[in-house]
Amino acid sequence: MKLYCLSGHPTLPCNVLKFKSTTIMLDCGLDTTSVLNFLPLPLVHSPRLSKLPGWVSKDGTLNLEKKELLDLSTIDVILISNYHCMMALPYITEHTGFTGTVYATEPTLQIGRLLMEELVNFMERVPKAQSATCWKNKEIQRMLPGPLKDAVEVWTWKRCYSMQEVNSALSKVQLVGYSQKVELFGAVQVSPLSSGYSLGSSNWIIQSHYEKVSYVSGSSLLTTHPQPMDQSSLKNSDVLILTGLTQMPTANPDGMLGEFCSNLAMTIRAGGNVLVPCYSSGVIYDLLECLYQFIESANLGTTPFYFISPVANSSLEFSQIFAEWLCHNKQSKVYLPEPPFPHAELIQTNKLKHYPSIHGDFSSEFRQPCVVFTGHPSLRFGDVVHFMELWGKSSLNTIIFTEPDFSYLDALAPYQPLAMKCVYCPIDTRLNFHQVSKLLKEVQPLHVVCPEQYTQPPLTQSHRSDLMLELQPPPMPYRRCSVLNLPFRRCYERVYILPELANSLVPSEIKPGVSLATVSAVLHSKDNKHTLQVSVLPPSKKRKRVMEEPPVVLAPKPLLSGAVPLDAFLATLQKHGITEVKVEETADGHILHLQAEDTLIQLEEDGTHIVCDNNEPLRTTLRDLVLRFLQKL
């Protein structure tokens, strides 16, 4: 069993597990941090930005060393754990000869589709006359200004996919429900478990009858909107692959939420606008729910909240229809029936408005001061670019970062100098180190595999030994492009004995509680399922001159066990008319000399040797007598 690690990003993992001749890709996250190397894509022509020296390109990198490490066309299935970890799907399903199936839950598929749609939309509505690729040449790249100069492997950076590729990729998705058992080729069973991180997010169990691998990716123990994490099903794993821990181990999500609200209120009261760069699904639901409770008490009842994204409406609508995937509280609301998320009420009362983009209705209905939720959190593309240009120069306004994926300083760099206030309240609900060690203590996997980043404290806080995994035995770290041999020794496989054969077996008790039966049967293996059935031998031809033909070995004789007791054996010999026996004692046993027949039988603890010339009938008789005392296996 091998694990190929294609991504070094701990929260956007991409691993390939080879297990019992199936090749399973675990997630395919799209690392978009490379867009920080580019200038923002403005919606409206900006003289300032266009005067800045630099390079503008379309987004995206997926750093896979496909060719060298592994042939991606051999992948049988892709298991998706949450919608953030599937953004690279079109690159894999569309350009590698992939012919397998992708498994994901329904919310993961639907919201993943929305996020991809949004990304494509952001890119395509600002088409560029030309796109440069020559700079990716190493020679030229060296001459570019930093930090682009120092970026590694830029040739793996790719252009954004198209909507057509997204649709084609997503058509390969097969929907699964939590705890559904999916058989892969009869060899392996995979099953998603609730991971508590986002709508439909899942951890995966990959198991056969004897081995169990758990894949934990992006889990949360906090009570937010999704169904709570299923921990108990992770028990008894041989290997637990641990990815997607919190990126903000020192930031408490609750505290951040409080800070978010207070900064928001302060800015609005002072007459400024608040900009929240965020993804269109996920934490935004919690932010809106928090604001719903906060608005009245903070006297913000008249402040308009805008959510601007090509998929804003869809995201808000979809969140309301996945009752099965929500936490208990929200589920019981549906039984009333009420929408599970309070943003329905915010929309109804016109406090929250959503627009596909800043063009159209929004420009006429827009009132200030206001709060705007919009993407993309990298500040490089999407409607957020426009608001940065619009509000950046006033110190009344505030930008509040809630998404932890991008460094906010890097994100803001091209907009400097900036007068607007910046508040950094990253909210990452994923497991922190304290929670994960408690979890591991609970589920007790034999081995843990994790990104190497988790085995040492963060670079910036090297003294914080609490910000790493300390386990016994130590976790097996991986980095990008490593290939791990997972410590597995498969010993058994499941075989089914058909009833007819089972009935014909004759068990004999060897020791108390232990019985044995010799099995001679025909093995049928089909679709990785093995069955044993009664062997129907071809009718043997009655051969007159048997000895002319050598015997066909159909059944090798069984092994023998036990010992032949001397006295009992002598008595048996006597019964068969062999009376003249001279017994001689040796170091290891006895030698019996059958004088009349001129035959020797050597009896020892672990062996019997019959020396008999020219008397085949006698030999076979003796053989059968000896066999009476022995157990056949």
**Within positions 205 to 224, which residues make up the interface with other proteins, using CB under 8 A?**
209-210
Contact between 611 and other proteins (CB under 8 A)? yes
Q: What are the DSSP E strand ranges found in 34-100?
A: 77-79
Stretch that binds other proteins, among 125-133, 135-143, 175-183, 296-304 (CB under 8 A): 175-183
| Number of CB atoms found within 10 A of residue 199's CB | 23
Residues in CB range of 523: below 8 A, 6 or more apart: 495, 530, 531, 532
Contact between 553 and other proteins (CB under 8 A)? yes
Nearer to other proteins, 137 or 180 (CB): 180
Nearer to other proteins, 302 or 614 (CB): 614
Nearer to other proteins, 266 or 497 (CB): 497
Residue with tokens 């929250």: 352
Contact between 556 and other proteins (CB under 8 A)? yes
Closest CA to 203 of 431, 456, 455, 404: 431
Structure tokens at 461: 């806080």
Count of residues of this chain found to bind other proteins when the rule CB under 8 A is applied: 95
Closest CA to 352 of 302, 313, 305: 305
Type and span of the H or E element at 142:
helix 138-143
| Number of CB atoms found within 10 A of residue 117's CB | 19
Q: Which of residues 294-313 bind other proteins (CB under 8 A)?
A: 313
Closest CA to 429 of 251, 163, 203: 251
Contact between 539 and other proteins (CB under 8 A)? no
SS3 18: strand
Q: Of residues 126, 390, 532, 570, which one binds other proteins by CB under 8 A?
A: 532
Nearer to other proteins, 470 or 598 (CB): 598
Residue with tokens 């954004």: 160
Instruction: Provide the minimum distance between the beta carbon of 518 and other proteins in the complex, in angstroms, as a whole number.
Output: 6
Type and span of the H or E element at 373:
strand 371-374
Contact between 545 and other proteins (CB under 8 A)? no
Nearer to other proteins, 126 or 600 (CB): 600
Contact between 535 and other proteins (CB under 8 A)? yes
Residue with tokens 């006597």: 574
Q: CA-CA distance, 610 to 600, in Å (whole number)? A: 6
Stretch that binds other proteins, among 77-85, 241-249, 354-362, 526-534 (CB under 8 A): 526-534
| 8-state DSSP, 161 | P
Closest CA to 283 of 141, 174, 426: 426
Instruction: Provide the minimum distance between the beta carbon of 513 and other proteins in the complex, in angstroms, as a whole number.
Output: 6
Contact between 487 and other proteins (CB under 8 A)? no
Q: CA-CA distance, 166 to 114, in Å (whole number)? A: 10
Q: CA-CA distance, 77 to 205, in Å (whole number)? A: 14
Q: At what angle do helices 163-170 and 106-124 cross, to 10 degrees?
A: 170
My answer on whether omega of the bond before 249 falls inside 30° of 0, hence cis, is: no
Q: CA-CA distance, 342 to 348, in Å (whole number)? A: 10
Nearer to other proteins, 140 or 554 (CB): 554
Instruction: Provide the minimum distance between the beta carbon of 198 and other proteins in the complex, in angstroms, as a whole number.
Output: 17
Q: Of residues 180, 363, 461, 465, which one binds other proteins by CB under 8 A?
A: 180
Residues in CB range of 220: below 8 A, 6 or more apart: 195, 196, 197, 226, 229, 429, 430, 431
Closest CA to 9 of 480, 407, 483: 480
Q: What is the dihedral of CA 496, 498, 501, 505, to 10 degrees?
A: 50
Q: Which of residues 578-607 bind other proteins (CB under 8 A)?
A: 605-607
Q: Of residues 305, 322, 373, 406, which one binds other proteins by CB under 8 A?
A: 322
Contact between 477 and other proteins (CB under 8 A)? no
Contact between 521 and other proteins (CB under 8 A)? yes
Contact between 121 and other proteins (CB under 8 A)? no
Instruction: Provide the minimum distance between the beta carbon of 624 and other proteins in the complex, in angstroms, as a whole number.
Output: 11
Instruction: Provide the minimum distance between the beta carbon of 606 and other proteins in the complex, in angstroms, as a whole number.
Output: 5
Q: Which of residues 53-112 bind other proteins (CB under 8 A)?
A: 106
Contact between 331 and other proteins (CB under 8 A)? yes
Instruction: Provide the minimum distance between the beta carbon of 562 and other proteins in the complex, in angstroms, as a whole number.
Output: 6
Q: Of residues 36, 169, 275, 612, which one binds other proteins by CB under 8 A?
A: 612
Q: CA-CA distance, 148 to 603, in Å (whole number)? A: 85
Nearer to other proteins, 53 or 499 (CB): 499
DSSP conformation letters of 205-229: EEE-SS-EEEEEES---S-SSBPPP
Nearer to other proteins, 263 or 313 (CB): 313
Q: Of residues 191, 198, 202, 432, which one binds other proteins by CB under 8 A?
A: 191
Q: Which of residues 334-353 bind other proteins (CB under 8 A)?
A: 334-335, 337-340
Instruction: Provide the minimum distance between the beta carbon of 375 and other proteins in the complex, in angstroms, as a whole number.
Output: 18
Nearer to other proteins, 537 or 587 (CB): 537
Contact between 507 and other proteins (CB under 8 A)? yes
Q: Which of residues 233-292 bind other proteins (CB under 8 A)?
A: none
Instruction: Provide the minimum distance between the beta carbon of 611 and other proteins in the complex, in angstroms, as a whole number.
Output: 4
Instruction: Provide the minimum distance between the beta carbon of 409 and other proteins in the complex, in angstroms, as a whole number.
Output: 37
CA distances from 498 to 210, 525, 531, 533 (A): 21, 13, 7, 6
Q: Of residues 125, 172, 590, 619, which one binds other proteins by CB under 8 A?
A: 619
Stretch that binds other proteins, among 68-76, 214-222, 385-393, 555-563 (CB under 8 A): 555-563
Q: CA-CA distance, 189 to 183, in Å (whole number)? A: 5
